[in-house]
A and B are shown apart, each in its own frame.
Chain A
Amino acid sequence: MSAVWTASRNAVRRRRLQTFVIFLVVLVCTVTALLSLALLDASRSPFQRAFEGQRGAHAVVTYDPARVTGAQLVAAGSGVQAAAGPFGQVIVEPEKGTGPFFSRPMTVVGRADPGGPVDRVDLWSGRWPQTRGEIVLNVPPQPAAEFRLGPLGRATELVTPDGALRVVGHAFTVSGSADGWVTPEQVAALKPTGTQMLYRFTGDVSTRAALDARLAGVTTGLPGDALLAAQPYLVMKEKAAATPGVYLPFLGTFGLLGLLVTVIIVGNVVGGAVISGYRHIGVLKALGFTPRQVVAVYLTMVSVPAVAGTVLGTGLGLLAVRPVLSDTFRGLGFGEQSGVRAWVIVSVLVGVPALVLIAALLPARRAHRLPAAQAISAGSAPRRGRALRVQRALSGSRLPRAVSLGLGIPFARPARTALTMASLLLGVVTVTFALGLSDSVTRIDEVGSRSSGEIGVRPYQGDQHPVTGRSDTEIERMLRDLPGAARVGVGVARELSVAGQSEPMQINFVRGDIPEMGYEDQLYEGHWMTSDDQLVLPTQLLNERGLRIGDRVTASLDGRWTTFTVVGETIRGLPGPEGAFATWRDFPQLGPQAYFYQVQTAEGTDLAGYVAAVRAADPGLDAWDNTGGDAFGTMVAAFSALLALLLATVAALGVLNTVALDVSDRRRDLGMLKSIGMTPRQVVTMMITSMAALGLAAAAIGIPLGLGAHRLVLPLSADAAKIRLPEYVMQVWDPATLVLLVFSGVAIAVVGALLPARRAARLTIAQVLHNE
């Protein structure tokens, strides 16, 4: 074995560039594979991960405190793996005027701390309530800076009929066990109407029927009417599945692309390294190495840089993946779950070296069978000219000779060219897809942020703040006059009874610049209202109500039946509960508090400054920054860019390897060309042309494929989220972008080829030509 080790060590030393290339390729591929696998894992079961992380409750159960005591509940533990509670629970009705976000009844639970055996609440900002009068609100984690600027971040108290509760922190439960938490003493003072128990069950909990059976086991023996309500975790899981769906297919596609490119490039680089060493293999055999020892030498030779690259790559990958995963989970609304699961790490640590070994083993086995004399003559005996016809055609062309010679090089080694082409192709497809995805996500974001108006304004209604003295038109004028305002929209929301429907429908009567603020761009069917008897509905509302474009809706408006026609379908409605759009009507009976305003500012405007200006101009107005709501979209775009960059780097490394091998194979030819007067620049031109041609071909094939992938994956992801995308979001391609993409294919090839091409230009001719 020592002879094998000595030969391997020498081979590693002698082939420093190739060893370095293998190390680098394996390193970058490991980072890519780790990132891809971690994201694939995250995208497959984000809810489950968050749920397990918090030891989520399989069932959140509310009992009637009048029917059952806490002691009875604690004693009833049949089939229960872990339980938390009893906790006092009360529904509080926030006072009107404490902002649009406290407009609904809230479930408030008394808990002494956020931990426990079940439902370990993620307290991500502030502290847990310690005394009466304090509350922690249930809010998914958000970046601190963005959260502080948003309306919830600035809500300091919740006013209830029983008094005000000071907000001392924000926490998140994936089990959905409460909207807010107070101390047990506080909840007792609020006169709890329920007792909450949180259960984790043993056995099967995968279906509603199974959960019902588990729950029946617990409640057996309790008074029959003690159970008020039970919320199985499957409800939260289904709810969660609809929200992040829009992004998951993107992440999955990128993960798969990353793994595919990794396999191809590693195969290309490692296989090439072994093939280029055939002559050395012959020498080893002539020295007396057995075929098995020769294979061992080559496997050891590639294993040294491969293991080093894998270990370092895993370390770097873990560092890189932490913030990405953290942002992903935060974006998915599941809090911070930045840990990479063990199976991902083990898969990468074992899988990448295994891939390298397999890639090396295939050509090494051929070397195993190769007679020594044949192996030794490899590369030195004249080869039968390949692609002679191509070369002849090129030599007769008007192109500079260095260019035409370079164009012919890929035809000399078709198998190597095919592998290089495959990696370039994947690089171009990835860059194209990433660019399209990033632009589309940006457009979705743009539509979202434009339509939410950047700045939201609403008059205060409660006792805590002064009441504005301005009318709605005066407020609108004031907002328009403040420096930085570009567009101002005004709306008034009315809940109207609809003929033939059991639930009222919210209709937002709007005026001003609402259509220009992005809502009209979001239309993917129909048109914006042109008269006051028309409605435009968001898809979700349209589906919920079973309506279609052209249908009529008869609503009771201030005591009179009014008929509207649905004329358009749009992605999103105004912030808050989904409502239809209708053109403005005057409602003289409503006070200024009924109106809300959206402001879009001119580019470069300081949003915080504008918000401050609104509050200074009229202390009776509440104003908040609406931007940054879709940080996940930004993260997806950033992640797309990162992975595309990584894959492009890996593709460039594949090219670097190919050119390094070509230079090594063609040392004699290069020496000869230099001896008859080829300048160093012409040598570089020739070698770069050989790869630029492949880059161009890869662009010609890869760009349409990337465009196709974008056209296919985006609607699929929209389908997953049960939304439709307007054509505006898909039309991200323009001639300049396409030219940029062609350039990217060529650039990947040129960047990869540059280093070995320059090395070729510096080749010492005398040594090459005389040492045959």
Chain B
Amino acid sequence: MTEKSTVVRLDGVRKEYGDTVALDDVTLEIRAGEAVAVMGPSGCGKSTLLNMIAGLDRPTAGEITVHGQRLDTMNETRLALFRRHHLGMIFQFFNLLDDLSALDNVALAAQLTGSSAGTARRRALELFGELGITDRRDAHPAALSGGERQRVAVARALMNRPALLLADEPTGALDSRAGEQVMDLLLDLNQIGQTLLIVTHDERLAHRCASRLIELADGRIARESALERL
């Protein structure tokens, strides 16, 4: 395996919050096109791991390399620029801006990179078409269903064609039908080559979408296994 095909590399990563050790000596690699699920009981360090990889938090020790760049040495501005161009994030509670329409929420990600409003909206409309929510383009988030909101959030995450898509409990706030739709969506994305890292409690989601499972316990990797997709 070449360094170029490795999208994420963590080497001896440790994270402490005061006296609490959230991650302890975590070393892992995620290769391009992989779909990896991270599972474990509450407080095991799943979200902390995701935050480290997304550059939302800094490790106490160890190295984090994503898409060939060391995140642990970057300042806030470089981290923001890195996220803008190379990462997409999906959250449990969608995190859409209430004051913007669905289309403008998605276009925003491209506009922050300097794209014109027209270009950003055209790209957003493409994604709306691919995700089947074109008719909801002008709705504001409060008028969308949970599933629709998460689709809008996925569209926003894909806007800048990220090297890595990070999903934090993407079905956690959805009913089963909407959850299924989102799972299908993630699976489709991975099948066309999108690298995925999913943090979840939902075994069905992990088994449906991921090809590898990392189980955390007390901040350490307790087990790694390949998954047969359902």
Q: Which residues of A contact B (CB under 8 A)?
A: 382-388, 391-392, 395-398, 401-402, 405, 408, 411-412, 668-669, 671-682, 761, 764-766, 769-770, 772
Q: How far is the CA of A387 from the CA of B101 in the complex (A)?
A: 11
Residue in contact with A677 in the complex, picked from B83, B99, B100, B104, CB distance below 8 Å = B83
**Contact assessment for B168 and A675 in the assembled complex, using a CB-CB cutoff below 8 Å:** no
Q: How far is the CA of A770 from the CA of B109 in the complex (A)?
A: 20
Across chains A and B, which 3 residue pairs bring their CB atoms closest together, nearest first? A677-B84, A385-B140, A672-B95
**Contact assessment for B99 and A764 in the assembled complex, using a CB-CB cutoff below 8 Å:** no
**Contact assessment for B108 and A385 in the assembled complex, using a CB-CB cutoff below 8 Å:** no
**Contact assessment for B95 and A385 in the assembled complex, using a CB-CB cutoff below 8 Å:** no
Residue in contact with B142 in the complex, picked from A383, A401, A671, CB distance below 8 Å = A383
Minimum C-beta distance from A449 to chain B (A): 56
Residue in contact with B99 in the complex, picked from A386, A397, A668, A672, CB distance below 8 Å = A386
In the bound complex, residues from chain A placing their C-beta under 8 Å from that of B89 are 675-676
In the bound complex, residues from chain B placing their C-beta under 8 Å from that of A675 are 54, 56, 83, 89, 95
The segment from B37-45, B73-81, B174-182, B201-209 found at the interface with A is B73-81
**Contact assessment for B80 and A672 in the assembled complex, using a CB-CB cutoff below 8 Å:** no
**Contact assessment for B93 and A772 in the assembled complex, using a CB-CB cutoff below 8 Å:** yes
**Contact assessment for B77 and A681 in the assembled complex, using a CB-CB cutoff below 8 Å:** yes
Q: Name A396's closest neighbour in chain B (CB-CB).
A: B117
Residue in contact with A679 in the complex, picked from B47, B51, B80, B107, CB distance below 8 Å = B80
For the A-B complex with A673-B97, A676-B112 known, give 16 more contacts whose Cβ atoms are closer than 8 Å.
A384-B142, A385-B142, A395-B117, A408-B99, A411-B99, A669-B98, A672-B97, A674-B80, A676-B157, A677-B109, A680-B80, A761-B76, A766-B47, A766-B51, A769-B91, A772-B93
Q: How far is the CA of A579 from the CA of B100 in the complex (A)?
A: 74
Q: Name A677's closest neighbour in chain B (CB-CB).
A: B84
**Contact assessment for A385 and B98 in the assembled complex, using a CB-CB cutoff below 8 Å:** yes
The binding surface of chain B is classed by DSSP as helix
Interface membership of B211, Cβ < 8 A: no
Task: Known contacts A388-B99, A397-B117; decide if A382 and B77 are in contact (CB<8 Å).
Answer: no
**Contact assessment for A385 and B117 in the assembled complex, using a CB-CB cutoff below 8 Å:** no
Interface membership of B9, Cβ < 8 A: no
**Contact assessment for A669 and B97 in the assembled complex, using a CB-CB cutoff below 8 Å:** yes
Residue in contact with A680 in the complex, picked from B56, B76, B107, B112, CB distance below 8 Å = B76
Interface readout for B106-126 with A: 1 if CB under 8 Å, 0 if not? 011101110011100100000
Minimum C-beta distance from A661 to chain B (A): 16
Interface membership of B156, Cβ < 8 A: yes
Q: How far is the CA of A673 from the CA of B99 in the complex (A)?
A: 13
In the bound complex, residues from chain A placing their C-beta under 8 Å from that of B82 are 677
Minimum C-beta distance from B105 to chain A (A): 9
Q: How far is the CA of A401 from the CA of B116 in the complex (A)?
A: 9
Q: How far is the CA of A297 from the CA of B116 in the complex (A)?
A: 50
| B window 121-137: CB within 8 A of A | 121
In the bound complex, residues from chain B placing their C-beta under 8 Å from that of A396 are 117-118, 121
Q: How far is the CA of A669 from the CA of B77 in the complex (A)?
A: 18
**Contact assessment for B141 and A387 in the assembled complex, using a CB-CB cutoff below 8 Å:** no
**Contact assessment for B116 and A398 in the assembled complex, using a CB-CB cutoff below 8 Å:** yes
**Contact assessment for B83 and A676 in the assembled complex, using a CB-CB cutoff below 8 Å:** yes
In the bound complex, residues from chain B placing their C-beta under 8 Å from that of A388 are 99-101, 140
Q: How far is the CA of A672 from the CA of B168 in the complex (A)?
A: 13
Minimum C-beta distance from A531 to chain B (A): 73
Residue in contact with B85 in the complex, picked from A385, A677, A765, CB distance below 8 Å = A677
In the bound complex, residues from chain A placing their C-beta under 8 Å from that of B77 are 679-681
Q: How far is the CA of A677 from the CA of B116 in the complex (A)?
A: 16
**Contact assessment for A395 and B99 in the assembled complex, using a CB-CB cutoff below 8 Å:** no
Q: Name A399's closest neighbour in chain B (CB-CB).
A: B117
Q: Name A772's closest neighbour in chain B (CB-CB).
A: B93
Task: Known contacts A395-B107, A682-B112; decide if A382 and B47 are in contact (CB<8 Å).
Answer: no
A-B contact pairs, 24 of them (CB 8 A): A382-B96, A383-B98, A386-B98, A388-B99, A388-B100, A391-B99, A391-B100, A396-B118, A396-B121, A397-B117, A405-B108, A408-B99, A412-B99, A669-B95, A669-B98, A673-B108, A674-B80, A676-B112, A677-B84, A677-B109, A679-B80, A766-B57, A770-B168, A772-B92
Minimum C-beta distance from A681 to chain B (A): 7
Q: How far is the CA of A679 from the CA of B160 in the complex (A)?
A: 16
Minimum C-beta distance from B72 to chain A (A): 15
Interface readout for B27-48 with A: 1 if CB under 8 Å, 0 if not? 0000000000000000000011
Task: Known contacts A395-B107, A675-B89; decide if A384 and B95 are in contact (CB<8 Å).
Answer: no
The binding surface of chain A is classed by DSSP as helix
Q: Name A679's closest neighbour in chain B (CB-CB).
A: B80
**Contact assessment for A766 and B56 in the assembled complex, using a CB-CB cutoff below 8 Å:** yes
**Contact assessment for B117 and A398 in the assembled complex, using a CB-CB cutoff below 8 Å:** yes
**Contact assessment for A401 and B104 in the assembled complex, using a CB-CB cutoff below 8 Å:** no
Among B81, B101, B108, B121, find the residue whose CB has the most chain A CB atoms closer than 10 A. B108
Minimum C-beta distance from A382 to chain B (A): 4
**Contact assessment for A385 and B101 in the assembled complex, using a CB-CB cutoff below 8 Å:** yes
**Contact assessment for B112 and A392 in the assembled complex, using a CB-CB cutoff below 8 Å:** no
In the bound complex, residues from chain B placing their C-beta under 8 Å from that of A679 are 76-77, 80-81
Task: Known contacts A388-B140, A772-B92; decide if A676 and B84 are in contact (CB<8 Å).
Answer: yes
Interface readout for B166-204 with A: 1 if CB under 8 Å, 0 if not? 001000000000000000000000000000000000000
In the bound complex, residues from chain A placing their C-beta under 8 Å from that of B107 are 395
In the bound complex, residues from chain B placing their C-beta under 8 Å from that of A411 are 99
Q: How far is the CA of A527 from the CA of B135 in the complex (A)?
A: 78
Q: How far is the CA of A220 from the CA of B26 in the complex (A)?
A: 110
In the bound complex, residues from chain B placing their C-beta under 8 Å from that of A392 are 100-101, 104
**Contact assessment for A391 and B76 in the assembled complex, using a CB-CB cutoff below 8 Å:** no
**Contact assessment for B80 and A677 in the assembled complex, using a CB-CB cutoff below 8 Å:** yes
Q: How far is the CA of A227 from the CA of B111 in the complex (A)?
A: 94
**Contact assessment for B99 and A769 in the assembled complex, using a CB-CB cutoff below 8 Å:** no
Minimum C-beta distance from A401 to chain B (A): 4
Q: Name A674's closest neighbour in chain B (CB-CB).
A: B80
In the bound complex, residues from chain A placing their C-beta under 8 Å from that of B156 are 676
In the bound complex, residues from chain B placing their C-beta under 8 Å from that of A765 are 51, 56
In the bound complex, residues from chain A placing their C-beta under 8 Å from that of B141 are 382, 385
Q: Name A387's closest neighbour in chain B (CB-CB).
A: B99
Q: Name B80's closest neighbour in chain A (CB-CB).
A: A679
Minimum C-beta distance from A586 to chain B (A): 82
In the bound complex, residues from chain A placing their C-beta under 8 Å from that of B85 are 677
In the bound complex, residues from chain B placing their C-beta under 8 Å from that of A678 are 80, 84, 112
In the bound complex, residues from chain A placing their C-beta under 8 Å from that of B108 are 395, 401, 405, 673, 676
**Contact assessment for B113 and A769 in the assembled complex, using a CB-CB cutoff below 8 Å:** no
Minimum C-beta distance from A667 to chain B (A): 11
In the bound complex, residues from chain B placing their C-beta under 8 Å from that of A682 are 80, 112
**Contact assessment for B111 and A401 in the assembled complex, using a CB-CB cutoff below 8 Å:** yes
Minimum C-beta distance from A400 to chain B (A): 8
Q: How far is the CA of A47 from the CA of B48 in the complex (A)?
A: 73
In the bound complex, residues from chain B placing their C-beta under 8 Å from that of A761 are 76
Minimum C-beta distance from B169 to chain A (A): 9
In the bound complex, residues from chain B placing their C-beta under 8 Å from that of A398 are 116-117
